[in-house]
Amino acid sequence: MDDIYQPPQSDVEQHSAAGYQFAGFWVRLVATLVDTLLMMIVTYPILAAIYGFDYFTGGAAVSGFWDILFSYVLPAVVVIMFWLYKSATPGKMLLGLKVISQKDGQGLSVSQSIGRYFAYYLSTIPLMLGFIWIAIDENKQGFHDKLAKTYVIKAKP
């Protein structure tokens, strides 16, 4: 039972006691770049085969059904599935990071994963401030982490 006479602990104090070491801005940026590169290696050849190399120089925001499927739907499904089954994307796994629920320190639920993915878009809207916020937040959370109630931590070996 908690001592009601003690001041409440902040999230940082509670989770530091649980042994979490939050992943900072730079390591998360590198993980994102790795994930982006891997996704490009998979999707660009397919898109080039379907639309030709003009796809990359054309000015259209969306080139058709296959563009939507391989540029938007596939990345969303892949990222969400990695969060659900591995608690990390390949870039995060490479760098020893995990995405966990703020509530219990376990893996993400389906709704948390979907919400976190779409909250990425909200993090980009105000000049990428939602991602830059990771660098100054005491829990190293971006807007998408706060909205989905998640942490990115350094995984224990």
Candidate from 10-19, 39-48, 86-95 with smallest mean pLDDT: 10-19
- Average per-residue pLDDT in the chain? 90
DSSP assigned state of 154: E
Q: What is the pTM of this model?
A: 0.85
Cα separations (Å) of 76 from 7, 34, 39, 107, 131?
41, 16, 11, 18, 18
Whole-number pLDDT of residue 126: 85
The CA distance from 63 to 61, in Å, is 7
- Please tell me the predicted confidence (pLDDT) of residue 57: 87
The yes-or-no verdict on residue 14 having pLDDT over 80 is: no
Q: Break the chain into its structural domains and give their ranges.
A: 18-154
Please give the pLDDT value at position 5. 61
Q: Is the dihedral of CA 73, 122, 56, 27 positive or negative?
A: negative
Q: Which pLDDT belongs to residue 15?
A: 53
Q: What is the pLDDT of residue 17?
A: 41
Burial grade of 153 (CB within 10 A; 0-12, 13-18, 19 or more): buried
Rounded to 5 degrees, φ, ψ at 71 are -95, -25
The whole-number average pLDDT for the span 105-115 is 97
Q: What tokens were used for 73?
A: 């739907």
* Average pLDDT of span 21-27: 97
Mean pLDDT along residues 115-129: 95
CB 73 within 8 A of CB 117: no
Please, are residues 23 and 97 in contact by the beta-carbon 8 Å criterion?
Answer: yes
**pLDDT recorded at residue 56:** 87
Question: Furthest-apart CA pair in the chain: how many Å?
Answer: 69
Around Cβ 83, how many Cβ atoms within 10 Å? 26
